[in-house]
């Protein structure tokens, strides 16, 4: 399976802080222990949720959060994920989604991956390509297993999100920065750990990685 393109740095990851370093070391430990990648993803989700809960009490957002059911402006951008996150999403789709709907979603993932290939993050955002898992009512089709960076995309101004993600003004969104920074370090640290353990890059764009996973799974099933 050829590695998919990634919207993160391919050769060098940004510097890690203490959170990232801990995530890196935990990923290496998980790999050496033979832990199922899905369990690594569940651990990361639990850690992020605990940090968000802590921040809500100790350092709440400067303004009330604007995120609510059906608000999906931020679902029109590329999202970087780690291999454990992709494993959890793929397994959830196999277990929780009817076969016909899974086939539709797999086709949608491949379509978004193809349409996004070669685009920079800003170009991808300007194109306003919706996530393959975005439902017609604005809900997330994989909410229970959504990526870390999606979980931490907590905005304080819905109109600025609209302008940033579908209005052609990338970078103008107003978010609660602390959870997003923590999630980014979890992703980068996990990628760094996976790279140390396997030599692979470890972080990829969501649709590109899932398309590669589906190709491998479907190829094995047809062999």
List, as one string, the DSSP characters of 181-209: HHHHHHHHHHHHHHHHHHSS--EEEHHHH
Residue 97 falls within a domain, yes or no?
yes
Establish if 166 belongs to a structural domain: yes
Domain that holds residue 191: 18-222
Task: Please provide residue 203's backbone torsions phi and psi, each rounded to the nearest 5 degrees.
Answer: -135, 135
Percent of the chain residues topping a pLDDT of 70: 92
The number of folded domains in the chain is 1
Q: Is residue 150 part of a domain?
A: yes
Mean pLDDT across 78-100: 97
Contact in structure between 133 and 145 (CB atoms under 8 Å): no
DSSP annotation of 131 reads: P
Inside any domain, residue 10: no
What pLDDT does 201 receive? 85
88 in a domain, yes or no?
Answer: yes
- pLDDT tens, 94-126? 999 999 999 999 999 999 999 999 999 889 988
CA distance 98 to 107: 14
* Cα–Cα distance for residue pair 121/22, rounded to 1 Å: 27
Tell me the pTM: 0.91
**Is residue 2 a part of any domain in this protein?**
no
CB neighbour class for 81 (10 Å; exposed up to 12, middle 13-18, buried from 19): buried
**Maximal CA-CA distance, the chain:** 55
Q: Is residue 48 part of a domain?
A: yes
Which pLDDT belongs to residue 204?
95
Across residues 123-136, what is the average pLDDT? 94
Q: Which residues pair with 152 in a beta bridge?
A: none
Q: What is the pLDDT of residue 148?
A: 98
The share of the chain scoring above pLDDT 90, in percent, equals 81
> What is the reported pLDDT for 222?
58
- Asked if residue 3 is part of any domain, the answer here is no
More confident residue, 184 or 165: 184
């Amino acid at each position: 399976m050829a590695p998919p393109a990634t919207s993160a740095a391919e050769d060098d990851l940004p510097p890690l802080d203490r959170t990232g370093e801990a995530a890196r070391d935990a990923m290496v430990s998980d790999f050496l222990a033979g832990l199922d990648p899905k369990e690594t993803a569940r651990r990361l989700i639990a850690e992020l949720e605990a940090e968000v809960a802590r921040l809500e009490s100790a350092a709440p957002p400067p303004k009330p959060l604007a995120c609510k059911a059906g608000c999906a402006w931020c679902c029109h951008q590329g999202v970087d994920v780690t291999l454990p996150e992709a494993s959890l999403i793929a397994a959830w789709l196999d277990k929780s989604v009817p076969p016909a709907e899974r086939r539709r979603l797999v086709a949608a993932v491949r379509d978004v991956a193809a349409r996004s290939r070669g685009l920079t993050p800003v170009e991808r955002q300007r194109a306003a390509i919706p996530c393959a898992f975005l439902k017609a009512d604005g809900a997330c089709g994989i909410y229970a297993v959504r990526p870390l960076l999606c979980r931490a995309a907590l905005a304080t101004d819905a109109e600025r999100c609209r302008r940033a993600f579908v209005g052609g003004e990338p970078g103008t969104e107003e978010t609660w920065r602390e959870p997003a920074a923590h999630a980014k370090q979890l992703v980068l640290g996990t990628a760094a750990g996976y790279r140390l353990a396997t030599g692979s890059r470890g972080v990829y764009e969501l649709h590109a990685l899932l398309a590669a996973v589906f190709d491998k799974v479907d190829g094995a099933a047809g062999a």
